[in-house]
Amino acid sequence: MTSDLSHLSGELKERAKKVLGRSLAIREVDAGSCNACEVEVNALSNPVYDIERLGVHIVASPRHADLLLVTGPVNRNMEIPLIKTYKAMPEPRIVAAMGVCAISGGLFKGSYCCHRGVAEVLPVDVFIPGCPPRPQAIIQGIMEALDMMEAKRQTERPKGILP
């Protein structure tokens, strides 16, 4: 597991630098998760994974964020706050759906107050499978997101800055 992790983290650090030339900022939103996904996102900051050292920050405001990490099936009560958070982010922005609920609704599919995953509400770029995904899987997902970010920057320039 350790060699696995060091390999993963080395790659993540390089890619963040290459794509952004700086750190990657993540905003996490719980849209009806059971809190296990949150536990794993928090685990990313413990001394074993410590993603801050790789240039990945979990930020407090969507205004600072490049990546929106969404957990949970998107329930009725969190739908509007989630969309507001997304709209508050600067472009180009990437959305990652984390965990089975966020991908398809999971066990909560068919509930009277849940969507079937984030894709029903927001355009999702990356899916991170697992219930909950292991920290290594989240790191892998963040790398996929960085690749998407690169592709997006090639195609769509931020409006109003460059011709």
Partner 1 sequence: MSVEDLKEIMEGLPPAILPAIAHWEADAEQLTIQVEKGALPMLAGHLHRKHHARLISEHVADERREEGCFILYLVLILPRDKGVVTCLAEIEPLYGSFPSITSEIFAANWFEREVQDLFGLTAEGHPDPRPLMLYDDWPADRYPLRKDFDATVPIPRVPSHYAFKRVEGEGIFEIPVGPVHAGVIEPGHFRFSVAGEPIINLEIRLGYVHRGVEKLSEALPYAQGTFLAERISGDNGYSHSLAYCQAVEAAAALQVPERALFLRTVYSEMERLYNHMGDVAGIVLDTAFTPGAQMAYLLRERLMGLNESVSGSRFLRSLNCLGGVRRDIDHVASLRINAFLVKAKLDFNDFKMKVLGMPSFLDRTETTGVLSLEAARQLMVVGPVARASGIDIDVRRDRPYAAYKDVSFNVPLHREGDVQARFLVKCEEVYESISIIEQALDQIPAGPISVHMSAVPEMLARFSLVESHRGELMHWILTGAGCPHRHKVRDASFMNWPALEVAVPGNIVPDFPLVNKSFNLSYAGNDL
Helix (H) or strand (E) holding 6: helix 2-20
Residue among 19 and 98 whose Cβ is closer to partner 1: 98
Window of 6-14, 110-118, 136-144, 154-162 that interacts with partner 1 by CB under 8 A? 110-118
Residue among 83 and 151 whose Cβ is closer to partner 1: 83
Is residue 7 involved in binding partner 1 (CB under 8 A)? no
Is residue 110 involved in binding partner 1 (CB under 8 A)? yes
Contacts of 119 (CB under 8 A, 6+ apart): 97, 103
Is the N-terminal amide bond of 163 cis, ω within 30° of 0? no
> Of residues 8, 16, 25, 41, which one binds partner 1 by CB under 8 A?
41
Q: Residue 24: CA atoms inside 13 Å, Cβ hemisphere, count? A: 31
Say if residues 132 and 37 touch (Cβ distance below 8 Å): yes
Q: How many residues bind partner 1 (CB under 8 A)?
A: 41
> Of residues 76, 120, 123, 158, which one binds partner 1 by CB under 8 A?
76
The whole-angstrom separation of Cα 131 and Cα 36 is 8
Is residue 35 involved in binding partner 1 (CB under 8 A)? yes
Is residue 47 involved in binding partner 1 (CB under 8 A)? yes
DSSP SS3 for 57: strand
The pair of structure tokens assigned to 158 is 């931020």
> Of residues 112, 155, 159, 163, which one binds partner 1 by CB under 8 A?
112
Is residue 78 involved in binding partner 1 (CB under 8 A)? yes
Using the 8-state DSSP alphabet, how is residue 45 labeled?
Answer: T
Is residue 117 involved in binding partner 1 (CB under 8 A)? no
Phi-psi region of 34 (alpha: psi -120 to 50; beta: other; left: phi over 0): alpha
Q: Give the footprint of partner 1 on this chain (CB under 8 A).
A: 28-30, 32-43, 46-48, 58, 60-62, 72-73, 75-78, 81, 85, 106-108, 110-114, 131-132, 134
